[in-house]
């Protein structure tokens, strides 16, 4: 067996990659293939292999199994695949992926005979669940000792068969089944001798369906929902108490299509009734489209069992070295939503590469709804857009989240904050995002704190920031957050209020801008914060700088910006600040201006452009606010 690191939680992988302690493995982790064993029409012993890198050709015949069988469950690690159970059979047989033309080898048998079961796995164990007759137990195969009888662990919370499953290295999710139901069970691999916990439901009762997924999402495809369906449903692992959402469709409606395999980018669904040899591919980065038809299986199969060394959150191909997440996360900035010059409020998100900032920003994904004057936050792995105003003029309380490592996927709803509001200010550190002040029909003094580790919960109200203002902006470092400027009738304010992250029950006036203004923008590094542009009443180019080590008195002026602008937004990294969009005289703008923090008395320099004119966008970067230190 290959050397592995044992059971781990996926967020531990992210933490270790970001901290530089994840091992720099350069070898191949598994093989880029999916395997489909057995099946009916009639009962088959052969096995098909789909080459993920060349999936438009017909699958190659491999194996075979020791006997013709169908209705099995299949699991895998990087080296082997295990097929277990089946109609009137309890045996477990193993395929060696490095020698997959050889017949599978009998290893052991399940504690009882059952079929129409499912399986999920990590690198060390395979969990087999469901099945008929009358099975609720979960059996675990120890891959390092697979000639032993699997140990009976916990149970599903109800009896069902014709189930499907997907998982990560820490958990397995079991979906639907017969009797036809919409229930989802989650197996905690670190505590697997208890009853699996119920999670959020599927959109409808489903049976005889397929399950696949990657590190963030599970996909439930086809089956009877309740009639034969092509629908694909998606479950977000980080928010699995919520109901599944509808995504795209398979190329055609089918059931008895439990054969599925995948990697972190795609899922392949093979066989079923009808279209018994068809293979559909789901693109996880564009999962609202119709799955594409690829090369067929070698023969017609239904009730086939599929698995892959790259499935269940495992990676195939070279494991990335530690520096990759830094490049992919901390050297880019995002601008989302806003009002693009008479085109209505936008939902699109642009990304600027700071290492090539003369090039234009590129479109990446969409917010889940249009947002104007939202607040941008960032953790080390996700970006957030809080509050704002929608196309109907209604203030928003929800929070929209994108993945920084998979930023082509439509944002998901998180939160909410305690108040629907518009024109608030925001600042964040690696653990929390603070949304403060704004307009709720009157000026607000509320400060809400979003916990990035529990971002489906309602934000926690902290100390009020009095007096209330709107059109305010936020910036900070690892210790403090600052909210500057804004308007409270009859005038703009110069006040900058400070929140101490170690005691965030109060937010009080700390110092002043050089002049009062609203709809300004701010960004900074761990030493300084910069406030640029705004209106008060003239539209200005002024840039003010806070020295966090000496944050009293009046801020000195720096810069200025290259042109007067308000309703702009800003983000950056440890070296530069990027002020973008807004209403730039004489008209709306898409231009990006850059301040060099090491030479901040110089006039800002125009760099690339956003994909469209945007005023009142939300902006964020994992490199801003001293996070890139």
pLDDT score at 264: 87
pLDDT score at 443: 96
pLDDT score at 30: 52
pLDDT at 620 over 70: yes
What is the spatial order of strands in the sheet that 91-96 belongs to?
72-76, 80-85, 91-96, 105-109
How far is the C-alpha of 159 from the C-alpha of 130, rounded, in Å?
7
Q: How many other CB atoms are there within 10 angstroms of residue 520's CB atom?
A: 32
Q: What is the separation of C-alpha 600 from the centre of its chain, rounded to a whole number of angstroms?
A: 36
Instruction: Take residue 58 and report the two structure tokens written for it.
Output: 């017909």
Q: What percent of the chain has pLDDT over 90?
A: 76
When pLDDT is averaged across residues 486-490 and rounded to a whole number, the result is 95
Instruction: Take residue 438 and report the two structure tokens written for it.
Output: 């704004």
At the topology level, CATH places domain 334-620 in Neuraminidase (2.120.10)
Q: Is 335 helix (H, G, I), strand (E, B) or coil?
A: strand
State the pLDDT confidence band at 108, using cuts at 50, 70 and 90. very high
The model's pLDDT over 114-171, given as tens digits with 9 standing for 90+, comes to 999 999 999 999 999 999 998 899 999 999 999 999 999 999 988 899 999 999 988 9
Domain at 10-307: CATH code: 2.120.10.80
**584 or 530, which is more confident:** 530
Structural domain boundaries in the chain: 10-307, 334-620
* 10-24, 178-192, 351-365, 571-585: the lowest-pLDDT one: 10-24
Q: Is 169 helix (H, G, I), strand (E, B) or coil?
A: coil
How far is the C-alpha of 412 from the C-alpha of 156, rounded, in Å?
29
Matching CATH topology for 10-307 and 334-620?
yes
When pLDDT is averaged across residues 327-344 and rounded to a whole number, the result is 79
Instruction: Please state the φ and ψ torsions of residue 147, each to the nearest 5 degrees.
Output: -90, -10
Q: What percent of the chain has pLDDT over 70?
A: 91
Collect all residues with Cβ–Cβ distance below 8 Å to 310 and sequence separation of at least 6: 29, 30, 31, 32, 52, 262, 263, 264, 316
Tokens 């929800």 correspond to what residue? 398
- The DSSP bridge partners found for residue 245 are 234
410: exposed, middle or buried (Cβ count in 10 Å: 0-12, 13-18, 19+): middle
pLDDT score at 284: 92
Tokens 């929140």 correspond to what residue? 499
- The DSSP bridge partners found for residue 282 are 267
Spell out a b/e string for 216-255, using b for 16 or more CB atoms within 10 Å of the CB, else e.
bbbbbbbbbbeebbbbbbbbbbbebeeebeebbbbbbbbb
Tokens 């075979």 correspond to what residue? 64
Average pLDDT, rounded, for the chain: 89
pLDDT at 575 over 60: yes
The model's pLDDT over 289-329, given as tens digits with 9 standing for 90+, comes to 999 999 999 999 999 999 999 888 765 444 444 333 334 47
pLDDT score at 321: 40
pLDDT at 12 over 70: no
**436 or 587, which is more confident:** 436
Indicate the pTM of the whole model: 0.55
When pLDDT is averaged across residues 373-380 and rounded to a whole number, the result is 95
Instruction: Take residue 605 and report the two structure tokens written for it.
Output: 């320099």
pLDDT score at 341: 57
Half-sphere exposure of residue 115, counting CA atoms within 13 Å on the CB side? 13
How far is the C-alpha of 210 from the C-alpha of 32, rounded, in Å?
20
* Distances 412 to 18, 217, 470, 554 between C-alpha atoms, Å: 23, 12, 26, 40
34's enclosing H/E stretch is strand 33-37
pLDDT at 586 over 80: no
pLDDT at 354 over 70: yes
pLDDT score at 322: 37
How far is the C-alpha of 13 from the C-alpha of 11, rounded, in Å?
5
The model's pLDDT over 162-194, given as tens digits with 9 standing for 90+, comes to 999 999 988 999 999 999 999 999 999 999 999
């Amino acid at each position: 067996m290959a050397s592995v690191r044992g059971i781990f939680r996926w967020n531990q992988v992210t933490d270790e990659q970001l901290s530089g302690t994840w091992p720099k493995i350069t070898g191949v982790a598994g093989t880029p293939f999916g395997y489909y064993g057995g099946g009916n029409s009639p009962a088959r012993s052969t096995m098909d292999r789909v080459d993920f890198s060349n999936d438009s050709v017909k699958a190659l015949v491999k194996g075979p199994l020791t006997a013709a069988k169908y209705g099995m469950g299949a699991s895998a690690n990087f080296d082997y695949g295990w097929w277990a159970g089946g109609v009137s059979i309890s045996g477990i047989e193993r395929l060696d992926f490095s020698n997959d033309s050889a017949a599978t080898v009998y290893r052991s048998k399940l504690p009882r005979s059952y079929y129409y079961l499912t399986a999920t796995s990590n690198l060390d164990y395979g969990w087999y669940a469901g099945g008929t007759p009358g099975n609720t137990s979960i059996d675990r195969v120890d891959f390092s000792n697979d000639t032993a009888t699997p140990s009976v662990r916990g149970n599903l919370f109800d009896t069902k068969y014709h189930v499907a499953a997907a998982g990560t290295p820490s958990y397995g999710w079991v979906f639907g089944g017969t009797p036809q139901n919409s229930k989802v069970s989650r197996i905690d691999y670190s505590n697997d001798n208890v009853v699996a916990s119920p999670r959020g439901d599927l959109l409808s009762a489903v049976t005889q369906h397929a399950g696949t997924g990657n590190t963030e999402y599970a996909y439930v495809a086809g089956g009877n929902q309740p009639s034969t369906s092509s629908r694909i449903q998606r479950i977000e692992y980080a928010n699995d108490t919520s109901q599944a959402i509808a995504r795209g469709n398979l190329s055609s409606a089918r059931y008895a299509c439990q054969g599925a395999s995948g990697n972190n980018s795609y899922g392949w669904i093979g066989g079923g009734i009808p279209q018994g040899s068809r293979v559909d591919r789901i693109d996880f980065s564009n999962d609202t489209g119709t799955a594409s038809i690829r090369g067929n299986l070698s023969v017609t199969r239904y009730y086939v069992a599929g698995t892959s060394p790259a499935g269940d959150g495992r990676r195939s191909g070279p494991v990335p070295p530690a520096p990759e997440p830094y490049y992919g996360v901390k050297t880019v900035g995002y601008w989302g939503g806003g009002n693009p010059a008479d085109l209505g409020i936008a939902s699109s998100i642009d990304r600027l590469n700071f290492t090539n900032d003369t090039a234009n920003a590129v479109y990446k994904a969409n917010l889940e709804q249009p947002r104007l004057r939202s607040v941008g936050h960032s953790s080390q792995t996700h970006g957030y857009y809080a509050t704002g105003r929608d196309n109907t003029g209604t203030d928003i309380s929800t929070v929209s989240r994108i993945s920084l490592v998979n930023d082509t996927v439509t944002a998901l709803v998180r939160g909410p904050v305690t108040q629907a509001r518009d024109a608030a200010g925001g600042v964040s550190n690696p653990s929390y995002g603070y949304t403060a002040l704004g307009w709720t029909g009157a000026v607000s003094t509320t400060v809400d704190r979003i916990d990035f580790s529990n971002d489906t919960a309602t934000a926690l109200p902290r100390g009020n920031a009095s007096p209330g203002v709107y059109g305010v902006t936020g910036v900070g470092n690892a210790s403090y957050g600052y909210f500057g400027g804004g308007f409270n009738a009859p005038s703009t304010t110069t006040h900058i209020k400070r929140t101490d992250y170690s005691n965030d029950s109060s937010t009080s006036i700390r110092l002043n801008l050089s002049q009062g203004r609203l709809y300004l923008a701010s960004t900074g590094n761990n030493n300084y914060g910069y406030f640029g542009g705004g209106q008060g009443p003239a539209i200005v180019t002024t840039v003010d700088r806070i020295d966090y080590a000496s944050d009293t008195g009046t801020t000195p002026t720096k810069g200025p910006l290259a042109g007067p602008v308000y309703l702009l937004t800003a983000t950056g990294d440890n070296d530069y600040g990027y002020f973008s969009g807004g209403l730039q005289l004489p008209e709306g703008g898409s231009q990006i201006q850059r301040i060099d923090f090491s030479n901040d008395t110089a006039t800002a320099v125009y760099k690339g452009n956003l994909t469209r004119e945007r005023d009142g966008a939300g902006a964020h970067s994992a490199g801003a606010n001293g996070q890139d230190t």
